[in-house]
Amino acid sequence: MLAQITKWVHQSPLSSLMLKCIKSTWATMLASLFLGALATLGFAPYHQWVLLLISLAFEIFLLMRLSCKKHVFLSLLLYFTALNALTLEWLNFVMTGFGQLPLLASWLIELIFSAYLALFHALLGTLAFSLALKRLKPNQPTTPAQPAAKAQNVVQSAAQSAASKDQPNDASAQPNDASAQPNDAAQDESSAESDEDEDYDDSDAQPSRGISSLMGSPELTGGALPGWVPNSEHLSGQSIKGYPCFTLKGHEVRFYKNVFALCFLPLALIGADFIIGWLFTGFPWMYLGYGLLDGPFSAYAPLVGVRGLSFLFFICAGALALAVERSYVYLPIAGVLFLIALFTQGISYVKDLAPVTMAGIQGNIAQAIKWDPRNTIPTIDKYLDLTHPLIGHNDLIIWPESALPVFIGQVEPLMADLNSYAYERHSPILVGIQRYEPPRTSFNSIFLLGQAPELAAAQIYDKRALVPFGEVIPLESQLRKLGPLFNFPMSSFTKGAYDQAQLQLKQVAAERTLNFVPAICYESIFPELIAAMADESTNGIIMVSNDSWYGDTRGPQEHLAIARMRALELQKPMMRVTNSGITAYIDAQGKLVKRLPQNVDGVLQVEFVPTQGQTPYGRFGNLPLYILMVLTALLGLTLRRRDITVEQESLSTLIRP
C-alpha cells in the first residue's frame, strides 16, 4: 500500500508542480511574503506563538536553500516587510483619521516605513549569510574521498539504469542467448540482492520517500532537503550534505548552514532589533518576543528581557529549520530551550507585599474633540465627577495621559483645590497634564497630587521618549508647511530629563512608602528606559496613555501586550490607565487580571499587590544577553574554521526518518 502511494505521489502532476515551486526563486520570495503575513498572528490580539515559531523556522529553512546574497536579502526584506505592514496597519488609521491623508497614500507610506524597519534585518541577515560561507583553498577537496567515490558509483549506477531503460529489449531479439545461461543470470540477480542487503548504506543513496521521492534521482549534494540543490546554476560539482559548496565569483565556497541558522543569523536579527530601537529615536514595537507572552518562552523574560527572549527564540527557530531538512542532531537544542522554559514558567524572583487600593479613571474623550477649546470645561467636569466618589476610599487615583487638555498653569487654582481635597482625605491623585516653562519649553507630564498641602510640593514626572511626528516634529519649520500630517495637536513637546526620580506613594496610615516607575504611553515600548529607573526599592509600575490615536484597530491590543512584557521583565505589577482603553491591571507575572472595555467611560478599582526584589533582568539588564551573544559569535567562528570530516558528516546525518 505504501509503495503504491509513493508511486502515485511520484507520478502525480501535483508533485511536478510542487517541485518546480520549491526550486523557483520567485516561489521562494512569495513564500517569504506568506510566512511574514502568517507571523503577524503571533502578535496581539491573536497571540498564536506556535504559528510565529513555524513561520520563522520555515523562513530560515528557505534562506538555507539559497546561494545568492541578493536572494537572501530580498527574502528577509519581504518576510519582515509583510510582518510589519500587517501588524502596524493601525498607522493607517492615524494618518487617514488625523493626518487627513488619502487611504492609498497612507498605505504607501506605511509600506515604505515597514520596509525601512525590515531593511536592517535584511542587511544584517545577508551579512550573516556571507560570514557562514568559507572560501576553499585550491587544493582543498570539497568532499571526503570515500563519500565522493560512493557518490560517483551512485551516479554511474543511476546513469546505467537510465540507459538500460532507453535501450530496446534484447531478450526478445536474442532468445537463445537469454535462455542459454538461466542459472548464471539467476545467480547474478541473487548475488546483487544479497550485496544490496549487506552493503546498503543510507548515506550513499536514499530510498524514494518524502520530498526526495519527487526528484527521481539519488541524493548527491547538500541541498535544503534530500535531492535539492540550492540554485544549482551556482552549485559546484561536489558537496557534503549539510555543507553545500557554491561557486561564487569564480571561487569555491562552503556554506555552513548550522553556523548560519544557530549562530550568525540570530546575532544578525537581534542586532537589527537593537538598531531599530535606537536609530532616529527608535521604534522598538515589532520585537518578535512580544508574540511569546502567552507561551512557555515567556519564562525567559525575567531572566534576559524581551531582547534576550527574542534571541533565544531565533536560535530555537534555527534549530527547527535544520530539523526540517533532516539535520535532526540539532533538534535537541530547540527541545532544551523549550523544556527549560516549560519548567521555569511561573517562577517568582520577587515577593509580594500588602496590597493597596487603586482606581483608574477612563474618561473616554474622543480624540477628534479632545483639543477643541469648547470641550475643555466638559472634559474637566467629567473627570471630577468620576473621581469625587473615589476620594477617601482609595490609596491612589490615576487619570490617563493628557487627561486635561490644558497646561497646568491655566488651571492652577483648580489643581490647588484638588490637591488640598485629596490631601485631607489621604487619597493622592495622579493627573496627566502638560506643563510649560518660558520661553518656549513644554512637557508632557504627570503630577502626583494630595501628598502635601501645597501644590508646589507635588511630584512631577516629564515624558522622556517622545513620539516622532506626534509629539515632536523633526525639521519642524519645513515639515509643518506640508499639511495636517505634521500638525497634530500638542506636537511640540520637549523631552524630559533621562534621570528622574520614581514616584513615591506615602501611606500615612500604613507608615510605609511605595515606589513606582512612571511611564507615559510611548515610553513603554523601550525596555531599557523602564528598566533603567527600576531598582531594589521599586514596588510597581504606573503607566498612563492615550490610545485613542489607534481607534478600533489592533493598536491598543498590541500596546497592552508591550506593557505586559514590561511588567513581566521586572516582575512588577502595573496599573495601566488610558483615555479610551485599554485600562487594565497587570500582575507581576504579566497576566491581565482586570480591565475595562474599550470606548466606554468608567472606573477600574483593584487590589494592587506591590512586590519587593529584583529579577535577574532587573538587576543585570542586558549584560547576560551580551555575554550570550559573544559566546554565540565565538562558537560560530570556531565551527566555521573547522574542516568537515567524514565523522562530522556522519554525525550530521545520524538520525534520519
Residue positions annotated with a catalytic role = 401, 463, 521
For residue 133, what is its C-alpha cell?
560561507
DSSP β-bridge partners for residue 612:
351
CA atoms within 13 A on the CB side of 25: 14
The total number of residues shown for the chain amounts to 657
Nearest C-alpha neighbor of 479 from the set 492, 466, 461, 463 = 492
Report which DSSP code applies to 216.
-
Are the C-beta atoms of residues 466 and 444 closer than 8 Å to each other? yes
For residue 198, what is its C-alpha cell?
549487506
Start-to-end C-alpha separation, the chain: 19
Are the C-beta atoms of residues 424 and 452 closer than 8 Å to each other? no
Instruction: Kindly report whether the peptide bond that precedes residue 624 is cis, defined as omega within 30 degrees of 0.
Output: no
Supply the Cα-derived Rg of the chain in whole angstroms. Answer: 32
CA-to-CA distance for 629 and 311, rounded, in angstroms? Answer: 9
Nearest C-alpha neighbor of 391 from the set 417, 425, 363, 430 = 425
Which amino acid is it at 377?
A: I
Residue 72 sits at the vertex; the CA angle it makes with 69 and 74, to the nearest 5 degrees, is 110
CA-to-CA distance for 31 and 21, rounded, in angstroms? Answer: 10
Nearest C-alpha neighbor of 461 from the set 417, 396, 515 = 515
